[in-house]
Structure 1
């Protein structure tokens, strides 16, 4: 193709541009914020919250940008491996699994990826605001843009011709309305209301917790009250700048506020590592965000779709950030785009091959996130078929993973999006989990905690 246009210069858009650089003579990233600045990507207002790059995301990032892990660590990031990554179920710490995670803030990670992408000779940027698609003959042939400071519907717009347009505009995407204006249907939308609140604060990092890079305190899945303190999740990560990033999350009325002292009090009620960090000096204030609902757009359920258009990142699916899947899901979608383009698709067909590949990974993340969310009493469904049975199986496997390394490795591979969730229901895994609980006199996760 001659030119590919990527709408959005945040994480997903940068990965899409990297993939397209191998298939297009020119890749143009259109972003209304300055690409080199801190405020890139208005579709990701939560970018200053604590983010996690799961192991599969790290593997793919290294594949797209060889040597980037070493570069990130050299510049101040940390690599969490083995026992330096700790996961608590209630007050019980699980045994470490064989997964590695890059620990850094999202702006730090994006800045390094952006430098790599913009160094590619055929990738260019345009500071502009996208207003509409250009449609002709059953395909998208370009995008209408204007200066970023213009009104929502400026009188003067420029047209960018394109052989392929990528929607990477995040949760604020306007693609659905644009498609309807050109006679196409919006993709069916699945939604799950959550009412999640989360907050991140940074603390000065000294010699405390020298053997910890990342730690998470997950709520006990047998607790079904959103008011219970144990139902809140706490995470910490050693990040660049000799800082700890600490994130608190809670549902409904048990949501963290923005008061620094309340934030510290919340930490003091958690497990020992968090209690120690509560006395460190806070760097800056508390950053609050909310997440009202998870949703996904299933383009595979459409009967017709224009050629020359694909969607990636939060513009396609946005799930509960508590599980840290967002960055890795974007990388998996970029990998799906790469596989699709390498299959040498016909320019006369819509990108069904990409959408099928992307849906496969989105459906896994959606299944895992919504399954866990449905355990909350204020989340009212819809519940999938066999939910109660699967919930009990999940509790059994989670309980067994605390003391059985093989069960724990399978569970961690699933949570890190390296393995399909069906691995948890394999007879060998279920049998080993049941035997482990019998040996320890445990019948449910509540006793384990």
Structure 2
């Protein structure tokens, strides 16, 4: 059992469900905010399920169910993230018809990929190798440059918020890969062996291309931010970007002579290469694995609340506080689990620390969540209305049916996984 992956999956899943709870009565909220939050929450649910199904490992008798549901849940995550990138931070759809057409196109495309997962031969391998990393990263990077370099007379804090949001989403999506960005330039095994396997279609050009693209996106943003810093236009999010790139240098010094053949963040430590030392296992847990399991939901928590994508203002303080306490408890458990895996402390000490931290955390959450929700980052809706068309679509009119439909989809995927397990496909 990969405990860190399990706790991270639980945190991601809970955050997604909590976001849907806040959005179920989002009446009158701008469509691009409510739908962006809605699809991001469902993407979090998909990724949370994927991590939860992968956490037990594949040594159990029912390993096929875990393997298939892990892959199918990642398909759910990818589909909803592709829809999300078409809406946030600036919607690419200009009309109601385009909006629903894009949703249906993505869902149909994902259904085709799901079907091709059972196709043998070249076609099946090629389609299974397609990654949304390149597509999503290109859109967010384009949005970043467009609004970071807006003409001075049109540049405001609101336009800068769009660029900041694009950086945060790239950090969420690619952060675990950016820890190994140096390996792309040095052609190191630890970079090009990420997330590949010996199964049919487990290694192909499309996947390696997406890894390379994610590094190019990072370098272009870092170079841009360094230039802007020299011009006196430093944004707080740039320092997070610098930290990831700096850790990439250190990571190369540690991994340059190894052949890490596991997922950059989500794989279990036992899947590391045979030349991986105990220190490398711990380092991977503290960097890539921590980002993949814990930092991802934390970044999404910030985006959902700071950019007001979940309509917190419609809920009372008691409800918000309850959700906040749940998230704090799960997050604290995850951090202590990570601490226990690195330091030689007993479970009794870990449980005692958990009680102490939660006691302080419950009092601290009011201030931290107030800071997130009281002064949300705004977009230039008033100064650039052409960027945010006012469409006659209200999430409150469709949320219930969409939630039922997507829940049935997840249930169908679980049923398919069970059938495939029974027939030993």
- Scaled by the length of structure 1, what TM-score is found? 0.27
| Greater relative contact order, per chain length (Cα 8 Å cut-off, separation 6+) | 2
Higher helix share: 2
- Scaled by the length of structure 2, what TM-score is found? 0.28
Higher strand share: 1
